[in-house]
Chain A
Amino acid sequence: GQNIDQPTEMTATEGAIVQINCTYQTSGFNGLFWYQQHAGEAPTFLSYNVLDGLEEKGRFSSFLSRSKGYSYLLLKELQMKDSASYLCAVSLPSGGYQKVTFGTGTKLQVIP
């Protein structure tokens, strides 16, 4: 089976840096997504990593280590609006297509 693990909840202070970890054990691997989901809304795309290393996109960065089955999402200069759930998802090969399987999500609360 596929196993994708993330912490359930995290709390961080406005202006600080927070790292949300994700570990995965899957049969097959295309790449790893991070999505943001505000309460009552749809998930929205943040990043996609295929190769090992860090990819930076403004205040958000995502890191991948394929050999370790590990990724993290780094959020800098936290703002109150960053309070949301962050979903790690693995793209798996599936008969020539992709099957994207999500982790349970990490609910991040940013406090003043």
Chain B
Amino acid sequence: DTAVSQTPKYLVTQMGNDKSIKCEQNLGHDTMYWYKQDSKKFLKIMFSYNNKELIINETVPNRFSPKSPDKAHLNLHINSLELGDSAVYFCASSQDVNRKTGNTIYFGEGSWLTVV
């Protein structure tokens, strides 16, 4: 029944490792996002895809590479992890039919990444 699901929920890894976070939505939405929430709880957009096409790419190190095999999935791969990458990563989705109607963003439960 989970609308936006992401795995793993918790991830502890060493500096320099490569890791992936997977995300799937069963809402039939066209747009998916990755947000990062740091220790100060500031929620910042990283990427957005619409129907598998990249539409928003904020200033994010190129160690972060999103991949969208279809419009229901958006995975995040991170290379050469650094201490500063420790954060909560939220996957989300919305239906971009008409921007004036309020395209509510639905968030997954988050993935707590700790780099040691």
Q: Number of B residues whose C-beta is below 8 Å from A?
A: 27
Q: How far is the CB of A6 from chain B (nearest CB, A)?
A: 11
B107 proximity list for chain A (CB < 8 A): 42-44
Question: For residue B6, which residue of chain A has the nearest CB?
Answer: A42
Question: Do residues A99 and B45 form an inter-chain contact, with CB atoms below 8 A?
Answer: yes
A102:B50 contact, CB within 8 angstroms: no
Given contacts A31-B102, A42-B108, A91-B103, contact A97 B31 (CB under 8 A): yes
Closest Cβ of chain A: how far from B29's Cβ, in Å?
12
Q: Flag A75-96 by CB within 8 Å of B: 1 or 0 each.
A: 0000000000101000101110
Q: Mark A33-76, 1 if CB is under 8 A from B, else 0.
A: 10001000111110010100000000000000000000000000
The verdict on B110 contacting chain A, using a C-beta distance below 8 Å, is: yes
Number of interface residues of A (CB under 8 A): 26
Q: Is A21 an interface residue (CB 8 A)?
A: no
Is A100 an interface residue when CB atoms closer than 8 A count as contact?
yes
Chain B contacts for A23, CB-based, 8 A: none
CB of B108, distance to nearest CB on chain A (Å): 6
Find residues 7-55 in chain B having any chain A CB closer than 8 Å to their own CB: 31, 33, 35, 40-45, 48, 50, 55
Contact present for B99 and A41 (CB under 8 Å): no
B109 and A41: CB pair below 8 A?
yes
Q: Which residues of A contact B (CB under 8 A)?
A: 30-31, 33, 37, 41-45, 48, 50, 85, 87, 91, 93-95, 97-102, 104-105, 107
Known: A42-B109, A104-B41. 8 other contacts (CB 8 A): A30-B100, A48-B102, A50-B100, A91-B99, A98-B103, A102-B35, A102-B42, A105-B41
Q: What are 26 A-B contacts defined by CB distance under 8 Å?
A: A30-B100, A33-B102, A33-B104, A41-B110, A42-B108, A43-B90, A43-B107, A45-B106, A50-B100, A85-B41, A91-B103, A94-B56, A95-B55, A97-B56, A98-B96, A98-B99, A99-B56, A100-B33, A100-B45, A100-B105, A102-B35, A102-B43, A102-B45, A105-B41, A105-B42, A107-B41
